[in-house]
Amino acid sequence: LQIQEKMTSEIALAIEEVLRPQGVGVVIEAEHSCMTLRGVNAPGASLTTSHLSGVMRDDPRTREEFLRLTRT
């Protein structure tokens, strides 16, 4: 089991440490079985999390382009 927000950050950190890019953007959309199989029983319930760093976070044009591309 994993908390999606933590997993998103850990993926971004791993990319930063290995590749040392100018910026990293990670977006994860996942269905939550705790919401779909038990509890509120809401089929298709999903959550989107993101983690941006470097130019992906600091440059508004780069950030907007990245987030726009991930919405499609």
- Whether the pTM exceeds 0.85: the reply is no
CA 47 vs. chain centroid, Å, equals: 10
3-class secondary-structure state, position 41: coil
CA 40 vs. chain centroid, Å, equals: 24
pLDDT digits (tens, 9 = 90+) for 20-64: 999 999 999 988 776 666 666 667 778 899 999 999 999 999 999
- Written as six digits, the tokens of 56 are 């992906």
